Amino acid sequence: MPEKNIRLRILSHLVAAGAGGALAFVLMDTEMAPAPARDQQVVQQPKPIVEVPKIPVIPALPPPLDRAALIAAAADAADAVASGTPLPQANSRLVGRSFILRMPFGCRGEMKEDAQKENWAGWNFNQKSRALRLTARATDLAKVEWIRKVAGEMAFDAVEGFWLRRPWTRGEQCGTGELAPSDAMLDTAGQRLAIAQFYSPESPRTLRRGDRPYSSTVKLEEGEVPSSQGYQLQLEGKLSGFPDGQPVHCSQDSPSIAPRCVIAVEFERVAFVAPGNDEPIVKWQ
């Protein structure tokens, strides 16, 4: 019996040893087995470069010149003439610039019927029909001697424009206080600054106003009254300039008298407006 037990123990040890060896072989085989081949990396092709078209940068147009800028340019030209120096180059850069000029009229109220020919502009109101009539008249400057002189070599057969009332102020509305009767019709002494268009002999005559005033009649609503601040003639266009490239020419008869100047322009639109209102009452283009 003891011998049999000894054999059984030896057999069990052999079986256990065999199992352990098999396990060790399996583990060793697993560790030494070659790793599975990795997936080949996908080589990405470079994306084509798409050139985005460049949008050209358009420089912003400068704002239109207003009354203050026009008066300043005329003052610089007058100063150059009075001091005997060349006209300012800064003015020459204004040629081609747009402008908007508002000129007040009717500041003293309704225009009298017998003074219509003397007034350059005015208004009338009919209480019954509620019709408001606005009128402005351009001035024929072709025969003004000093304007013909400052035109130099410019060829023209007509000059139409307007005298700027109170050219010493930048205000575009009626001034305070009472106005002298001579404000309606400026005398020669008061004609210091003009804005005008020089029409060449080849220009169409239909562009000229001649004796035709800017005139229009509008009907006011019930309860609406004419403006207590008068009205404004709005001139729009571009500075055209003289043959020397300057937009303003001046003339001085005596060192003790202020120079007189004219701004050469091309009128593109004329309108009637009420002070403080940008919407035109009526316009011509």
Pair 249, 242: CB distance under 8 Å: yes
What's the Cα-to-Cα distance from 25 to each of 12, 15, 18, 31, 187, rounded to whole Å?
A: 20, 15, 10, 10, 128
User: In total, how many domains does the chain have?
Assistant: 1
* Residue labelled with tokens 């010149």: 65
Burial class (CB in 10 A: 0-12, 13-18, 19+), 240: middle
- Domain membership of residue 196 (yes or no) is yes
Q: Identify the pLDDT of residue 42.
A: 60
- Domain membership of residue 236 (yes or no) is yes
Query: Dihedral sign, CA of 90, 144, 267, 184?
Result: positive
- Domain membership of residue 1 (yes or no) is no
- Domain membership of residue 251 (yes or no) is yes
123: its two tokens: 């208004």
Distance of alpha carbon 106 from alpha carbon 231, whole angstroms = 6
Query: Dihedral sign, CA of 272, 278, 279, 284?
Result: positive
- Domain membership of residue 153 (yes or no) is yes
Beta pairing partners, 98: 238
Distance of alpha carbon 280 from alpha carbon 211, whole angstroms = 23
- Domain membership of residue 268 (yes or no) is yes
Q: Identify the pLDDT of residue 10.
A: 44
Q: Identify the pLDDT of residue 40.
A: 55
- Domain membership of residue 161 (yes or no) is yes
Pair 121, 137: CB distance under 8 Å: yes
* Verdict on whether the full-model pTM lies above 0.95: no
Provide the residue-wise pLDDT of the chain in tens; the chain has 285 residues. Answer: 455 454 545 445 444 444 444 434 334 444 444 555 555 556 667 777 777 778 877 778 899 999 999 999 999 999 999 999 999 999 999 999 999 999 999 988 888 776 666 789 999 999 999 999 999 999 999 999 999 999 998 999 999 999 999 999 999 988 775 554 444 556 666 789 999 999 999 888 888 898 899 999 999 999 899 999 999 999 999 999 999 999 999 999 999 999 999 999 999 999 999 998 889 999 998
Domain residue limits at 252: 67-106+138-172+187-213+229-284
- Domain membership of residue 115 (yes or no) is no
For residue 103, give the nearest of 211, 159, 178, 186 by alpha carbon. Answer: 186
User: What residue type is 236 in one-letter code?
Assistant: E
For residue 282, give the nearest of 228, 190, 218 by alpha carbon. Answer: 218
Q: Identify the pLDDT of residue 101.
A: 97
